[in-house]
Amino acid sequence: MSASKPSNADQIALDTNMIAGLIKHRPALPASLTLAGQAATVDTAVTTLQARIAAANAVAPAKAVYAKVVLANQQEKEATEEFVADLKAFLVLTNKKSPDILADYGITLKKRATPTPAMKVVAAAKSLVTRKLRGTKGPKQNAPIKGALTGPVTVSAAGVAELPPATPLVAPVAASAATTPPEGPSRT
């Protein structure tokens, strides 16, 4: 079973009590103690404990200063974010053809991902499956319909893709339910 470390305040109290005990019982203690492999006196032990207490007391103000500095950093970033984004966009726009100059500013342009032939075949197959599911409808009726591949796409030696059966990801809304007006009192 492992003992948990005492809090900073508890450690200060323990060290303070140890100093008081060392001073009170100094006459009963030997003149030289071997502590951590070194010879030490009671005065050395008291000085070491006082240094620990001073270091522990410095933690709380340092944390407060650190929190204040972190908050100031976040506020500065937020206040200047749009300015820096516009500056970067300007530098990219004016130096798009000169990657070496952009590198001097620490900017690298992202290259567009080039789709592999396999990615192109899968995209074409998905497109065909979606087209079969949609049929000939208007753009609003087609929007929620997407095709999903239910099996592997196989390509023959002649370059013809064999598609798995089409399965809709989102079932189309029934046309009659979408076009029927709600019933209510008539205005005649």
Q: What is the pLDDT of residues 82-128, one digit of tens each?
A: 999 999 999 999 998 898 999 999 998 888 888 888 888 888 888 88
> Is residue 184 in some structural domain?
no
Kindly report, residue by residue over 2-32, the tens digit of the pLDDT.
568 888 899 999 999 999 999 999 999 999 9
Question: pLDDT value at position 176?
Answer: 47
> Is residue 78 in some structural domain?
yes
Residues 49 and 32 in one domain: yes
Q: Give the whole-angstrom CA distance, residue 22 versus residue 42.
A: 7
Give 177's pLDDT tier (boundaries 50, 70, 90).
very low
> Is residue 26 in some structural domain?
yes
**What's the mean pLDDT when you consider all of the chain?**
83
Residues 45 and 65 in one domain: no
Domains held by the chain: number: 3
> Is residue 181 in some structural domain?
no
> Is residue 185 in some structural domain?
no
CB-CB contact of 159 with 178 (8 Å): no
Residues 126 and 160 in one domain: yes
Range list of H helices, 25-145: 42-57, 59-94, 99-104, 117-134, 139-142
Question: pLDDT value at position 170?
Answer: 55
Backbone angles phi, psi at 148, to 5 degrees: -125, 140
Q: Which residues pair with 35 in a beta bridge?
A: 38
Structural domain of 71: 60-104
Residues 48 and 64 in one domain: no
> Is residue 50 in some structural domain?
yes
